[in-house]
Every structure is written in C-alpha cells, then in structure tokens.
Structure 1
Amino acid sequence: MIKRFFQDLNISGVSYMLISGQASVIYGAATFSEDIDLWVQPVKENWNRFLKVLGSVGAVIYKLTPPISMKWISQGHGFHFQIPDEDKNIPFWFLDVMGVAPRVGDYDDSFKRVKYPMTDWGKIPVVAIRDLVEIKKTRRLEDYPIISNLVRIESRNLSERKLKMNDWKWILKNSFEVEDILDYLQSDETAKTIGAHLSRKCLSLCLQALLQDHRKAVHLKEASQEMALEIEESRRRDRIYWAPIIDELKVLKKNNRLLVPGNKPPRMVA
C-alpha cells in the first residue's frame, strides 16, 4: 500500500519531499522509523491533489489534527493520518504531514536541493541532507546521534572531490560527536584552519586537545560538556518553535475543532 501511495503521489503531480525519520533511514543515518513524514508544498491546489491520494489509499485521521485549511498549513501545523497496509505485521503506517518544515525556510528553495534515490517504494523525492539536519534539530535527544551520522555521510559524499571552505564550515558546525570532530580536524589542515575561526566552544576545545597532548583528556571532557550544553540549547529552541503551535492545538481541542480520529480526511482543503 505504501508503494502504491508514493506512486499515486507522483502520478498525481503532488509536490512533496520525504523528511525526518524515513529520510534518515534512506540516507543510512538511522536503522528504523515507524512514521512517514512528508513536507507537502503549501499551495492549495497541491494539497487538494494530496488529499485525493489520501482518500484513494484509505487513509484516516489520526490524533491532534487541525482542520485542513491553508491557515493551519501555512502556520506550520502537523497533520496526522494512518494508512492501512496489507502486511499483517504492520497493519497500518503513521503518516505525518506539514506544509512548513522547521528551520529550513522556503519549500521551493529546499526542493531545488532534493534527491531522488531508489527505495523499496520506488524513486521518491527526499529532502537534502543539509536541510534534513536542520529539521532533525528537535527536542528529542535521540535525534542528535542521527544528525552526526548525517554529517558523516555528507562528508564522505563530499570527500569524492576536494572539500571547499563552506563544506568544512558546515561539517564542523553541525556534528554533535566529539570523536567525529577530532577526526575531521585531523583529516585536513584546512579543517583545522577553518575550525580555529569558527565560534563554537566545543570545537575550540577539540583543537586544544590536539595541540596540548598533556591536557588532551581534560580538553575532551570539557568539549563533551560543551556539546551537551549545545544540544540542550538546540532542544530549547525547538520547544520555543513548537510552543505557539501547541497552544493553538489546545484552543482547537477546547473548541472541539480538531478532526475526529478514525474519520476519513476531507476531499479538499477547507
């Protein structure tokens, strides 16, 4: 059913990108995700095509889903569905959809960087690794090792050619593993030079660990502590991002305006 779902999306001309967990699995940065997350271009006609496909595969509303209108689509709300599957071990799939993705800006700009890998579901558009890294900077601690895996994969992909300064800046700014940062710094003198000019305390401590062998253990411990603080700050920013959306959901729930779980989704955007 899921393969058919993606085939129908493509045939119907729906503009979308696979993001979050399943995108991480496809890139090889994670091993499992129980959800399918889609970023659907926030255009009314596009969402109408998307809703038509949902109806064709027997999708139903899941919990905490607001009315499907351009107001809520454009304000970053998530819309949650279940899609039945023929597999007895997986009776249905969870589908989370949004029209605005956190921290990555405009849909059309991101779509210019989209990749089209071949998957078990066919060839589908997957958000680029660098955009995926921003989306994965969530409140969930388990996302940060995945981010570091994505950075490692991107660095390997880039190593097939000479890494540019901006590549190294991105790599050194976005890894959340101290050991990986040490490897990057030791792998290329350009990385050391760029790292010395970046404003990231854990990165500076990693550089000091390489330069001062007698204090290496101390600097690496301090780098790990700084990394933990960075992760907490990133989690805090994600909570701030979602706070107004959660407040809006509470109001919708209080006023009985959330869509009813188990019902079929509307055929068109309200």
Structure 2
Amino acid sequence: MREHQVQCLLMGGQACVLYGAAEFSRDTDLAILASEENAERLTKAMNALEAEVIAVPPFVLQHLEAGHAVHFRCRHPEAAGMRVDVMSRMRGVTDFATLWERRTTLVMDDGTLCDLLSLGDLVQAKKTQRDKDWPMIRRLVEANYFSNRAAPSPEQLIFWFQELRTPELLRDLAQAYPALAKEAVPMRALIHHAISNNVSALEAALDAEERQERLEDQAYWQPLKQELERLRRERS
C-alpha cells in the first residue's frame, strides 16, 4: 500500500493488536478513500500482490460508496492466502477525510509507517452485530484506560466516559472525576448509575446499550445484504 501510495487506514483485528488488545486475524482490513485515483492505486497494489476479488461485490467504486466491503485473496508467495478486505463507509463512522485527519501513525519494527484508524474510530467501527466485536471493544478501551489512567488527557477522559464497557471501571472513573461524570450523563445516560455506584443497574444498562447497537447494525446491513444477494444471482 505504501509503495503504490494507496490512501488507506488499517482497521480490524490487526489494528486491535497494535492498540494493545490482542486479536488473532487472518485478514487485513482497510478503510480506503473512494476516489478514481485511489482506486487505480489500489488496483496496482492488488496486482502486485497477485490478488483477485473473491465473492461479491466486484471492485467498483459505487459498491464501496454504498457501504459494501470488497474482498481480495492474495496469491503472491510472500502473502499467499492473505485476504484483504476494503471498505470506505461504515455505520456510525465519519467520512474518510475526517478519519484520515485524526488517524494514528505508528512506526513498525522495520521502520515502515502504518496508518491506523484512530482508537475512537476503531471502537465505533467495531459496534456491529457480531458477537466477537463486543469483547474486543471492551479490551481496546480497557487497554487505553490502564495505560493512561495515571495522567489522562481531557480527551482520554471524555473517551472513557463515552466508551468504557466495564461497570467497575466506569464507577471508579465517575468517583475520581465527579464533575466530568455529571457532564457526561447527557451524552450517555447510563453514567448516572456509575455516579450512584449502582453496579448492577450499570451492567444492565450496558447490556441494553449493546443490544441497541446490534439492532441498528442489523437494520443498516439488511438492504446491503439484499443487494449482495441480487449480485450473487446475477453472477450465477
């Protein structure tokens, strides 16, 4: 991707590993800019990886812009069998220009630069109907919390109030920062259970919050799945 100057951001399981919340992943998931120029660059990169599109939809910008993922399988000996999934739109996630502006850039052991979704955007992208994503959200936010709780920035405190999914940690956070906790209630009503130290009510509210996100994700994907089924029939 670097060699062909593809404007993309690493997300998915490999990004979770780099943020300290280990997850085994056989795939490389990328958020990409949906533009003609960037699509040409991605095509060159996929050709270099001897990658082919698998399943549906085909690699067409209109499918990316609609919110579909396009799936590639690499044949190059140095990446044999690796699947690369690309998307440019995700439910509840902002536009790519904003994602790019607030991205995280890490230097790998070999000196390679790697651009990732910001932690907040990665957490938002993980709010799906899939069972495996919710424990990962919890681990991502906890890893950030435990790494920075000794001297948190204002932005980190806001992020934790918005995204922590561990009742006891939310309670501790509310007790440590009572003024911020009160300010957080309008954006996340369940914080008032943390303030009142009602852990059982807080746990129930977190479960309800997760169920609502899952339902919204199911509703979001329903028309997209119907379109995929139409594309499968046409291909057959």
Aligned to 1:76: 67
- One of 210, 231, 234 as aligned partner of 1:252: 231
Aligned to 2:90: 101
1:32-61 CA-to-partner distances (Å, cap 9, x unmatched) read 222210011000111111011101111122
Cα 1:168/1:198, change in 2 over 3 Å = farther
Is 2:22 aligned against 1:30?
yes
C-alpha distance in 1, partners of 2:92/2:30? 15
The count of residues paired between Structure 1 and Structure 2 equals 235
Per-residue deviation at 1:102? 2.7
Write the mapping of 1:1-270 to structure 2, written as runs, cut at 5 A.
Answer: 9-63=1-55, 65-84=56-75, 86=77, 91-119=80-108, 122-155=112-145, 159=149, 163-164=153-154, 167-195=156-184, 197-198=185-186, 200-209=188-197, 219-256=198-235
Aligned to 1:212: none
The answer to whether the Cα contact below 8 Å between 1:168 and 1:194 also exists between their aligned partners in 2 is: no
The answer to whether the Cα contact below 8 Å between 1:201 and 1:223 also exists between their aligned partners in 2 is: no
Per-residue deviation at 1:255? 1.4
Per-residue deviation at 1:68? 1.9
Structure 1: runs of 5+ lacking an equivalent:
1-8, 210-218, 258-270
The answer to whether the Cα contact below 8 Å between 2:182 and 2:192 also exists between their aligned partners in 1 is: no
Give the RMSD, CA atoms, in angstroms. 2.4
C-alpha distance in 2, partners of 1:109/1:170? 17
The answer to which structure, 1 or 2, has the higher relative contact order (CA under 8 A, 6+ apart) is 1
Aligned to 1:261: none
Per-residue deviation at 1:71? 1.4
C-alpha distance in 2, partners of 1:145/1:139? 12
TM-score (norm 1): 0.78
C-alpha distance in 1, partners of 2:187/2:100? 30
C-alpha distance in 1, partners of 2:76/2:169? 39
C-alpha distance in 1, partners of 2:189/2:104? 33
The answer to whether the Cα contact below 8 Å between 2:49 and 2:74 also exists between their aligned partners in 1 is: yes
Per-residue deviation at 1:99? 2.1
The higher radius of gyration belongs to 1
C-alpha distance in 2, partners of 1:77/1:238? 13
C-alpha distance in 1, partners of 2:37/2:93? 23
The one-letter amino acid of 1:117's match is: L
The answer to whether the Cα contact below 8 Å between 1:205 and 1:220 also exists between their aligned partners in 2 is: yes
Instruction: Indicate the SS of the match to 1:116.
Output: strand
The one-letter amino acid of 2:133's match is: D
The one-letter amino acid of 1:249's match is: L
TM-score (norm 2): 0.88
Structure 2: runs of 5+ lacking an equivalent:
none
The answer to whether the Cα contact below 8 Å between 1:117 and 1:123 also exists between their aligned partners in 2 is: yes
C-alpha distance in 2, partners of 1:160/1:10? 36
Per-residue deviation at 1:119? 3.0
C-alpha distance in 2, partners of 1:190/1:83? 52
C-alpha distance in 1, partners of 2:104/2:83? 23
Instruction: Indicate the SS of the match to 1:125.
Output: strand
Aligned to 1:4: none
The percent of aligned pairs where both chains have the same amino acid is 25
Per-residue deviation at 1:143? 1.4
C-alpha distance in 1, partners of 2:209/2:151? 30
C-alpha distance in 1, partners of 2:27/2:109? 15
